[in-house]
Amino acid sequence: MTDLTKFYINGQWVDPIGDSKLLDVINPATERPAGTVALGSSADVDAAVIAARHAFEGWSSSTVDDRIALIGAILGEYQKRADDLAAAVTTEMGAPAGLAAAAQVPIGMAHLATAAESLKTFSFSEDRGTSRIVKEPIGVCGFITPWNWPLNQVMCKVAPALATGCTMILKPSEVAPFSAAIVAEIFDAAGVPAGVFNLVNGDGPGVGSALSAHPNIDMISFTGSTRAGVEVAKSAAPSVKRVAQELGGKSPNILLDDASLAKNVKAGVAAMMVNSGQSCNAPSRMLVPSHRLDEVAAAAAEAAAPLTVGDPTTGVRLGPVVSEAQFEKIQGLIERAIADGAKPIVGGAGRPDGLDTGYYVKPTVFTNVTNDMEIARTEIFGPVLVVIGYDSVDEAIKIGNDTEYGLAGYVSGEDLEQVRYVGSKLRAGSITLNSASIDPTAPFGGYKRSGNGREWSDYAFDEFLEVKSLMGFGA
């Protein structure tokens, strides 16, 4: 059992201010408590903001070399705790142990390394005529992060904030707080100055809203659902703070007519099912030529067959989804899709055979789907893929863009010029061509209701910087 009853504020582990409710953290594989977490309040947020505000004067004046050295120290401590981090992620949100060790933990390291490397060449000033344009840290930042890729989403905010000289308060998901507590221990061991990084656990109403509305927080960065992102923006509006958001997605995966279906359908199914489908950029709508729908259905069924589901501490491909509420939401969407006429060629409603305990969902692939169905328009956040036919490339692009979201898109085909053309026409912030690997040096973020601002790479730095013009500086 892991009991998180203290918060990390001003370089120390401290008790919550006043009475604090304890929340059970449920292991989704067992449906039993794996520990507890204290839920903070606005008073705890106030204490963290005071610490961050006090630390800002010193940290904002640190040199680039100072920041590179500190991020390097953090990276060293992070690597020492890699096994602990992976185990925490598996326990708190159900990621298979192999995925936690091979992807969940390393992506956090990648953001730290990218920030340190980007700092070496990033320019914080430039001269234009007799004016000097400078970029200065925005100030105290509030971070609200989700449970699905916890280390990725913490580090892609914290690393650029540290690199640009900001101080911060982190509220990780109360559903999955264990890995964030280890991150705080890592920062402490690395010698992060007191008050630069602070951690306050809590839920949205108790801590998230307090961060968003706080008049002495200069910037709020939120990752989560579009619905919650709207509430964060509303809370932030009266103080006119900067708001950056990485929100939902319903991303198209367009397989062009010359694409190898044997290869690309298999890749598309596998990519959809990673992390039990709990990724905001999951390729959840597979768009294929209508005359090849039967061929695609057969290939998808074959691709899904070896996807094992079960205890995430073993060698399975899919663990559980994160919670009972998430499980029930996914089951409802599957059941309504079937009622609407969608055909599950694999999977379907209910738990996989033999898994009566744990929030396990069958890897499911639907055909006979049109883009106006709920199953094709709603972000499911589970291992559910829909296959939709198109009759021309222009129609594929139209269907791909026919969504309120715009986080990601995927295009595969043999004609590279056509692949590039289709990718250029998709209204989304991150487009993957021919199954290219994730690139932490490329910016990540959304169009439309998928958010605003960019994370990852040196593009993330600008989210944490104010621009000042010194006119007459060179006169």
- The CATH number of whichever domain residue 143 belongs to comes to 3.40.605.10
Strands 465-470 and 131-137: antiparallel
Q: What is the pLDDT of residues 319-359, one digit of tens each?
A: 999 999 999 999 999 999 999 999 999 999 999 999 999 99
Q: Are 255 and 222 a contacting pair, CB within 8 Å?
A: no
> Which amino acid appears at position 223 of this protein?
T
Instruction: Tell whether pTM > 0.75.
Output: yes
Let me know whether 39 and 67 are in one domain.
yes
Q: Are 193 and 59 a contacting pair, CB within 8 Å?
A: yes
Active-site residue among 77, 280, 379, 463? Answer: 280
Strands 252-255 and 408-412: parallel
Domain-embedded: residue 445: no
**What is the predicted pLDDT for the residue at 172?**
98
Let me know whether 462 and 431 are in one domain.
no
Task: List, in order, residues 6 or more apart from 301 with CB less than 8 Å away.
Answer: 345, 346, 365
Q: Are 471 and 130 a contacting pair, CB within 8 Å?
A: yes
Let me know whether 418 and 274 are in one domain.
yes
Q: What is the pLDDT of residues 55-67, one digit of tens each?
A: 999 999 999 999 9
Backbone angles phi and psi of 208, in degrees to 5: -60, -45
Task: List, in order, residues 6 or more apart from 114 with CB less than 8 Å away.
Answer: 159, 440, 441, 456, 457
Domain of residue 163 covers 2-247+450-470
Let me know whether 325 and 341 are in one domain.
yes
Domain-embedded: residue 116: yes
Q: What CATH number does residue 338 fall under?
A: 3.40.309.10
> What does the block give as tokens for 43?
């008073």
Let me know whether 434 and 293 are in one domain.
yes
Domain-embedded: residue 395: yes
- In the three-class reduction of DSSP (H, G, I as helix; E, B as strand; rest coil), residue 117 is classed as helix
Nearest to 394 by CA among 418, 429, 417: 418
Length of the chain in residues, anyone? 475
Active-site residue among 92, 246, 379, 463? Answer: 246
Q: pLDDT under 50 in the chain at which residues? A: none
**What is the predicted pLDDT for the residue at 254?**
98
> What does the block give as tokens for 107?
């992506």
Let me know whether 133 and 279 are in one domain.
no
**What is the predicted pLDDT for the residue at 446?**
97
Q: What span, in angstroms and rounded, lies between the C-alpha atoms of 316 and 323?
A: 19
Q: What span, in angstroms and rounded, lies between the C-alpha atoms of 425 and 398?
A: 9
Let me know whether 322 and 353 are in one domain.
yes
Q: What is the pLDDT of residues 72-99, one digit of tens each?
A: 999 999 999 999 999 999 999 999 999 9
Domain-embedded: residue 41: yes
**What is the predicted pLDDT for the residue at 470?**
98
Domain-embedded: residue 319: yes
Residue-by-residue DSSP string for 13-60: EEPPSS--EEEEEEETTTTEEEEEEEE--HHHHHHHHHHHHHHHHHHT
Nearest to 92 by CA among 327, 382, 321, 384: 321
Let me know whether 233 and 316 are in one domain.
no
- 156 among known catalytic residues: no
- 92 among known catalytic residues: no
Residue 129 burial by Cβ neighbours in a 10 Å radius (0-12, 13-18, 19+): exposed
Q: Are 375 and 333 a contacting pair, CB within 8 Å?
A: yes
Q: What span, in angstroms and rounded, lies between the C-alpha atoms of 103 and 149?
A: 9
The per-type count for the chain, helices as H runs and strands as E runs, is 15, 21
Let me know whether 310 and 161 are in one domain.
no
- In the three-class reduction of DSSP (H, G, I as helix; E, B as strand; rest coil), residue 386 is classed as strand
**What is the predicted pLDDT for the residue at 262?**
86
Let me know whether 183 and 55 are in one domain.
yes
Nearest to 35 by CA among 189, 155, 180: 180
Domain-embedded: residue 475: no
Let me know whether 212 and 341 are in one domain.
no
Domain-embedded: residue 412: yes
C-alpha pair distances (Å), 116 with each of 176, 340, 408: 27, 50, 26
The total number of structural domains in the chain stands at 2
- In the three-class reduction of DSSP (H, G, I as helix; E, B as strand; rest coil), residue 220 is classed as strand
Let me know whether 235 and 286 are in one domain.
no
Domain-embedded: residue 336: yes
Q: What span, in angstroms and rounded, lies between the C-alpha atoms of 212 and 197?
A: 17
